[in-house]
Structure 1
């Protein structure tokens, strides 16, 4: 049924009985809104089913995702060696071995530091809770003892009492130690195959689609891989810079547990916004217990300056304009990813959104570059103004 305007001649009479068609008595805007609502609900249902499917095979989902992200981090080194004349297979094996050894050493170092210092960090945080409790009671707020303990001491005791439950719940996501080992082996083999692959997997994936859409899929795949490669390089580099820059600050402040706290800052920086906020809060609390309120304020200011300096100056240089997401979108994305898939969801949420955004933009650009389509109008770096005008013009041409 054509969507004609309510006041057009076609909508005034029905060809069957000569009267008004009751379907066209609904306002045109309402019909458009209804179709949009149906499409939106269909998309939400499809996404929900996809999330349920991926969650039902979470071991495969997590291991393949981690393998792809590790490959995106190491694959530029393979290309560099290949340009120097090293055969592709040999370059892939060399980078895989060196990369896995380096990552294994990093994981071992992090685990040992966290394990050896977990009791000390817990005691320091408990002391920080006591310090804050005394300030709430005896400070300018003058809270009641019960209210102060509800926000400090009782909260710390609750976290300490349920620590085993939290750890067990984390381990239950992998079902058993065998699942963790099998997932790790699967991830290593998947990473090796991806490192040795020279685009064969992607070409096979493109051939699945209908012939008239393969060029669009190829353009989207190139944009997705470039986005993921640039993002992973930037993420690890900025996380390392944040942690290393805070080491001399913590040493000058005379804080304990400098190395474990630097490791904590590195891990927290891997999760945009939320991760570094949590890690920074822990660092400031330990500075409060060790050296008092002045040291905590100075360390907090230094941490904010370091994160802002590297985030605003180095991040645009490393990422360019290829991965450009508004901070509010990052916050919403990380929060949604955490609610859906926990820590893993928070880690992959931002690169997933960046990939989807750049793939959509690359497909639109490729479509407009085809003969007979409208060229990309001049606009800003992201082409937002041109996208809207081009989409409207393209829709008009298709209807005509």
Structure 2
């Protein structure tokens, strides 16, 4: 007991650095939870892991619930959201033309001229294509019937040996199902008429909104930045600029790629003598705005039209042309033209098109990739802001360095598994502390310079 009291008393004479180290080690043992990675009991480590997992799961559920609410609201307001998104895409394409016209005409007149010019160009293309489609549709129908008869004749031979009675029975069953579903077909006709009316309203709203965006688009972002306040204004300006650049870059690059695809495939259709080549070329151009899915769908349609109109050999040649064009697009055009504008993995593109098409049909598939690119831009901006605040802050960097040093010390203590040592203090026979620096024959007395033996831990 006397020895314990003596050691407790003598700790007051420890050097300050050693005393700080001892207190630091004591704190590390008493408060293992101050750092998420501190050394402690296994149950404490497991409990911290469960707490972190539960907190992450709770936040993830809240984020998913918020996203679900946003998607539900978009579905309810789809009548207004669709023309808004289409107008933004069109405005991003027409804005450079309007900016050029503003150099010699008023802003409103430049916007009106740009929008009306684009509308006239679209109507001119459709008026040139639709008559040829109508003229060639009858010929295509006759060739389709001839092709079906050829397929039926081929199927009746070995190895299939399908009899005409089986084919007629299948046709009769299909006719019966169509007659039974005549009521549903009638409802579908009325719903189709309603859909045409809705499409007309959507097109009109898109045209008007496009005019407003082209005319007042330059004022929108400063107004929102001013409304949001001084703290959020720089972020809104930077993020809005990036989103607009990404959207306009995507539309322009995709238009270039689609035009190249439509031109090459259109030349192949003309050379092979495939009917309705103009309509198929236009569909190829429009299908290019739905990545992967649009190209496959329109390419398959073109090959089928060639099969029933010009024969199997030319259809196979057209298939080779389509595959060649798609390879040129994927390996050359997209990395060069679209790489900087999008920077999206093919898996993300395909998944976004599938989700958008399943939820909102053709408009959803068309808008899926621009929306996905916008989401990626927002996530990248947030990641940049986190990096700026976590790595470039001197206080955060210094605090992280201190935590790393503490962790290294605790790991060394855990590996050694030795208790904290009490600093030995040498005293003389009168209990006076001695200088820890040894003399020739042992520790030196601070006052007299005499040397005595150090304190033996085994002695009382």
TM-score range, shorter chain: 0.7 to 0.9
Deviation at 1:118, TM superposition (A): 5.6
Query: Structure 1 length as normaliser, TM-score?
Result: 0.74
Deviation at 1:128, TM superposition (A): 5.4
Alpha-carbon distance in structure 2 between the residues aligned to 1:167 and 1:281:
30
The residue correspondences of 1:1-400 to structure 2 (distance < 5 A) are 27-82=47-102, 84=103, 86-108=105-127, 138=157, 142=160, 172=191, 175=194, 178-209=197-228, 211-365=230-384, 374=391
Q: Give the direction of change, closer, same or farther, for the CA distance of 1:121–1:292 in structure 2 (3 Å limit).
A: closer
Alpha-carbon distance in structure 2 between the residues aligned to 1:329 and 1:219:
25
RMSD: 4.4
Partner of 1:388: none
Alpha-carbon distance in structure 2 between the residues aligned to 1:125 and 1:163:
25
Q: Highest Rg: 1 or 2? A: 2
Deviations 1:290-347 (Å, cap 9, x if unpaired)?
A: 3333222211111111222234323333334231222222111111111111111110
Query: Structure 2 length as normaliser, TM-score?
Result: 0.65
- Runs of 5+ in structure 1 lacking a partner? 1-6, 13-22, 376-391
Alpha-carbon distance in structure 1 between the residues aligned to 2:385 and 2:306:
53
Deviation at 1:88, TM superposition (A): 3.7
Deviation at 1:72, TM superposition (A): 1.0
Judge which range, 226-235 or 90-99, deviates more.
90-99
Equivalent position SS for 2:281: helix
Equivalent position SS for 1:27: helix
Q: Give the direction of change, closer, same or farther, for the CA distance of 1:9–1:346 in structure 2 (3 Å limit).
A: farther
Give the aligned length. Answer: 363
Partner of 1:384: none
- Runs of 5+ in structure 2 lacking a partner? 1-27, 34-42, 405-460
Is the 2:144–2:309 Cα contact (8 Å) retained in structure 1?
no
Deviation at 1:231, TM superposition (A): 1.0
Alpha-carbon distance in structure 2 between the residues aligned to 1:318 and 1:57:
34
Deviations 1:336-372 (Å, cap 9, x if unpaired)?
A: 1111111111100011111221233244446656xx6
Q: Give the direction of change, closer, same or farther, for the CA distance of 1:87–1:167 in structure 2 (3 Å limit).
A: farther
Is the 2:274–2:310 Cα contact (8 Å) retained in structure 1?
yes
Equivalent position SS for 1:212: coil
Deviations 1:255-279 (Å, cap 9, x if unpaired)?
A: 2222222222222222111111111
Deviation at 1:157, TM superposition (A): 8.1
Alpha-carbon distance in structure 2 between the residues aligned to 1:107 and 1:195:
24
Judge which range, 55-64 or 204-213, deviates more.
204-213
Alpha-carbon distance in structure 1 between the residues aligned to 2:232 and 2:114:
34
Equivalent position SS for 1:264: helix
Alpha-carbon distance in structure 1 between the residues aligned to 2:398 and 2:222:
29
Is the 1:223–1:362 Cα contact (8 Å) retained in structure 2?
no
Q: Give the direction of change, closer, same or farther, for the CA distance of 1:170–1:336 in structure 2 (3 Å limit).
A: farther
